[in-house]
């Protein structure tokens, strides 16, 4: 019985075998690379969509828990953008184009944002409640007048508190009013200034009108569209009479709204309803 000869591969045969395996492996690697390149955009788009959804959900959750904090962050960002890119050119455009009767209209509208008429209104309503309490001998009517009096006290506190805060902030920031831009081409701030022309930020008229309108939304919710429209109209007038920049109006409006929200929360925590009119 003979012994079989072992198979001997030459160097050439082995090289061809290895080259064949390498070519086959390279082809498989190239195929895998093409597959991954095709799948990558889809996976990346899916990942981006998931990330965006998580960000939106997280923002919505935070806004529901802390609406004033989130609102302040967004308004502050809007003010920063306006200060850098919008305030100056917008003021120059309005100064050049709002003239004559059109400006006269806005001068009349802007006076609605003065603080003293709203203080007078609240004090008159308080006096009315006091007279009603003195004129009635019925416990139920007396309690009703007393409850309404507390509503107007909260109204006054929101108006005065936000007004004081804005006044302090004006002097701390010391932002130059647009009149400096028109006359001297000056745009900026002089912190800790008490000059009347260096108290532009934030807008006091915008704060006044929006704390009042937001409080009226709580007192008489049926007419909230009217209050909202009046707030936008009066706050916008500060731009058209060119005494404030856009960022001044935005922050002043936010402070007024925030003060009203805090006042309503404070009252609700103590079981005091501020509603005087019928719901919408």
Q: What does pLDDT average to in each consecutive run of 10 residues of the chain (280 residues)?
A: 46 46 60 60 67 77 90 98 98 97 96 98 97 87 94 98 98 97 96 90 98 98 97 98 98 99 97 82
In a domain, 180, yes or no: yes
pTM for the whole thing?
0.83
| Structural domain for 122, as ranges | 71-269
Report the alpha-carbon distance of residue 257 to residue 251 in Å, rounded.
Answer: 10
Is the omega angle on the peptide bond into residue 202 within 30 degrees of 0, that is, cis? yes
In a domain, 278, yes or no: no
6 and 102 together in one domain: no
128 and 252 together in one domain: yes
176 and 222 together in one domain: yes
Element (H, E) at 236: helix 224-240
- Residue 22, token pair as written in the block: 């390498």
In a domain, 277, yes or no: no
Report the alpha-carbon distance of residue 230 to residue 226 in Å, rounded.
Answer: 6
190 and 263 together in one domain: yes
In a domain, 274, yes or no: no
155 and 238 together in one domain: yes
Query: Which of 65, 80, 107 is where one domain is finished?
Result: 65
Nearest alpha carbon to residue 254 among 188, 162, 169: 162
- What pLDDT, in 10s, does the model give residues 187-233? 999 999 888 899 999 999 999 999 999 999 999 999 999 999 999 99
Q: For residues 205 and 235, is the Cβ–Cβ distance under 8 A?
A: yes
Report the alpha-carbon distance of residue 156 to residue 163 in Å, rounded.
Answer: 10
Q: For residues 251 and 195, is the Cβ–Cβ distance under 8 A?
A: no
Query: Which of 42, 65, 88 is where one domain is finished?
Result: 65
191 and 53 together in one domain: no
- Residue 141, token pair as written in the block: 């009517």
Q: How many domains does the chain have?
A: 2
Query: Which of 49, 65, 81 is where one domain is finished?
Result: 65
Percent of the chain with pLDDT over 90: 71
122 and 250 together in one domain: yes
133 and 258 together in one domain: yes
pLDDT of residue 24: 55
pLDDT of residue 7: 45
pLDDT of residue 37: 59
Q: For residues 171 and 277, is the Cβ–Cβ distance under 8 A?
A: no
The CATH code of the domain that includes 150 is 1.20.144
Task: Count CB neighbours of 138 within 10 A.
Answer: 8
């Amino acid at each position: 019985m003979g012994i079989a000869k072992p198979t001997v591969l030459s160097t050439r045969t082995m090289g061809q075998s290895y080259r064949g395996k390498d070519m086959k492996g390279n082809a498989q690697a190239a195929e895998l690379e093409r597959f991954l390149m095709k799948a990558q955009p889809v996976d990346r788009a899916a990942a981006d969509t998931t990330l965006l959804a998580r960000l939106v959900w997280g923002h919505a959750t935070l806004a529901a828990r802390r609406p004033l904090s989130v609102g302040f962050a967004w308004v502050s960002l809007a003010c920063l953008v306006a200060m850098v890119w919008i305030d100056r050119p917008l003021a120059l455009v309005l100064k050049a184009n709002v003239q004559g009767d059109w400006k006269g209209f806005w001068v009349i509208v802007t006076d609605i944002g003065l603080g003293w008429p709203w203080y007078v209104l609240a004090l008159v309503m308080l006096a009315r409640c006091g007279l009603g309490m003195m004129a009635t001998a019925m416990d139920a009517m007396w309690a009703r007048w007393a409850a309404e009096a507390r509503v107007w006290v909260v109204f006054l506190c929101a108006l005065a508190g936000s007004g004081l805060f804005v006044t302090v902030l004006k002097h701390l920031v010391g932002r130059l009013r647009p009149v400096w831009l028109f006359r001297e081409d000056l745009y900026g701030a002089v912190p800790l200034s008490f000059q009347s022309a260096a108290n532009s930020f934030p807008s006091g008229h915008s704060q006044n009108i929006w704390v009042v309108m937001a409080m009226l939304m709580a007192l008489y919710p049926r007419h909230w569209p009217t209050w909202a429209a009046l707030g936008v109209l009066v706050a916008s007038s500060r731009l058209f009479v060119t005494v404030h920049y856009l960022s001044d109006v935005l922050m002043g409006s936010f402070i007024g709204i925030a003060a009203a929200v805090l006042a309503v929360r404070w009252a609700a925590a103590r079981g005091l309803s501020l509603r005087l009119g019928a719901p919408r």
